[in-house]
């Protein structure tokens, strides 16, 4: 094809480099630091269980901490944590609606408008901060920060149809090679 790029050697060499880097990092974790300071193998798993004492601070797995932070950020209603549970599962399920929320004609970040890039940056920062807050004990300032960043998290998805439709995108090239 006229605009085609051959798979070999370009992509095969690039993929081999990626696989080698991944295997080196994976081997370093497995052989030299399997616990990774509690991020892979939690410290609580090495403590003998005591059914008479509940731990002071229970933290979920690191990849679930942003959603746990959303759960804790939403205050209970009528003595029930149900609104927090709805918010937590809503934070997961809203990701499934992304194809219908994105109204932009361009899908590559390279050609997106600046409002989208700013909103994506705010979303990434809010997700990382929510993950960090999910590992911290509950304090008034942490609860306030979790509420602010939960609003930013959901605001990205709620406002996405607006800022993807108004943004002025760059011209997409018609050919791969010029």
**Residues 54-110: tens digit of each pLDDT:** 877 777 888 999 999 999 999 999 989 999 999 999 999 999 999 999 888 888 888
| Statement: residue 178 has pLDDT above 70 | no
20 in a domain, yes or no? no
Note the pLDDT of residue 122: 97
78 in a domain, yes or no? yes
Note the pLDDT of residue 11: 86
**Range with the lowest mean pLDDT among 25-34, 37-46, 83-92, 121-130?**
37-46
50 in a domain, yes or no? no
Rounded Cα gap, residues 175 and 71, in angstroms? 47
pTM to 2 decimal places: 0.76
Note the pLDDT of residue 1: 58
Do 91 and 156 contact (CB within 8 A), yes or no?
A: no
Note the pLDDT of residue 88: 95
Cβ density class 70-106: b for 16+ within 10 Å, e for less: bbbbbeeeeeeeeebeebbeebeebeeeeeeebebeb
SS3 45: helix
44 in a domain, yes or no? no
Do 141 and 73 contact (CB within 8 A), yes or no?
A: no
Domains identified in the chain, total number? 1
175 in a domain, yes or no? no
pLDDT per residue as tens digits for the range 128-175: 999 999 999 889 999 999 999 999 999 999 999 998 888 788 888 777
5 in a domain, yes or no? no
């Amino acid at each position: 094809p006229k605009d085609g790029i051959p798979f070999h050697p370009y992509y095969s060499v690039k993929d081999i480099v990626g696989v080698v880097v991944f295997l080196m990092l994976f081997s370093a974790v497995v052989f030299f630091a399997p616990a990774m300071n509690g991020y892979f193998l939690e410290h609580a798993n090495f403590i003998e269980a005591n059914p008479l004492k509940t731990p002071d601070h229970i933290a979920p797995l690191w990849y679930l901490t942003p959603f746990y932070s959303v759960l804790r950020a939403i205050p209970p209603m009528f003595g029930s944590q149900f609104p927090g549970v709805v918010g937590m599962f809503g934070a997961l399920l809203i990701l499934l609606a992304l194809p219908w929320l994105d109204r932009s004609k361009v899908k590559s970040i390279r050609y997106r408008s600046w409002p989208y890039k700013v909103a994506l940056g705010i979303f990434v920062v809010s997700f990382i901060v929510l993950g960090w807050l999910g590992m911290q004990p509950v304090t008034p300032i942490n609860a306030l920060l979790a509420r602010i960043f939960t609003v930013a998290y959901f605001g990205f998805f709620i406002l996405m149809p607006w800022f993807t439709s108004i943004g002025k995108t760059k011209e997409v090239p018609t050919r791969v090679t010029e």
